[in-house]
Structure 1
């Protein structure tokens, strides 16, 4: 019996070292070598300081910035610790009200803009943290940002195009614009 207990304890210790120490260290080291940016959270750095991640949205509400998708995380928007979809179905009155409120906020921020509001500006993504919007959503906001920043709309279109990523592998997903990267480019252009 004592031999069985000793064997069980040795196996527990061995597996703890392998799965709890050696494996995580090996995976972390491999990630540092093969994909260092992703291993460090895909951080976006400005003036030597991290200002955000390319993978997690940020809330922008000033008229001189492009706004991202609404966040489904509560109580703090874009909180990675509470990533979750809203789980509201298309017939749920709460979803309709949230979308209506967001449309009203967009219309209030730019009353002259009578274009249809792109759906990604009024609905949260599956994770509630999406850092990207469609090129159409960026184009919709362009007049407001141009007026607030006193920038030529053609210059903003260039910035949108420069910050638009195509489909993954040429076929998966849709073209998208990272809102934080675009807003940093707008900051740079407005100097």
Structure 2
């Protein structure tokens, strides 16, 4: 069985913002339709097929109901993400991250609650700025009908990679707090 597009499975338009109510409704509908208990008297092949469809339904719901996973999925549908892809982050972002990483390294030797709080506030601001930028671009993509969508997707891809980087920084900050 070929992997079915999750948006098609749920009969939803390919957008970054999905109708949560329609998504849940379709998930429950498919969960009932493909529940393995209803097929216990069927052949092994039919049971295997139903189990595969049930698994697909669960996986699709996990991806489409999570905004970050949905972004990654939409980007992958447009061939914007490849396994082992070595994405090059913008130079100015990398310079900012170099400063943040230096501050984190300094905290390993000299734990300072005030510096930790300042660094956390700085990361909060960066995350908020990225979130706003992401929202603008995903809204723009969802409102356009294919025109210039590739350039918008490239911007979203860049934001997605920067967010992933900041999540790793956030994890390091949380370790210092613990």
Using structure 1 for the length normalisation, give the TM-score.
0.24
Structure scoring higher RCO (CA < 8 A, sep ≥ 6) equals 2
**Richer in helix (by share):** 2
**Richer in strand (by share):** 1
Task: Tell which structure's C-alpha radius of gyration is larger.
Answer: 1
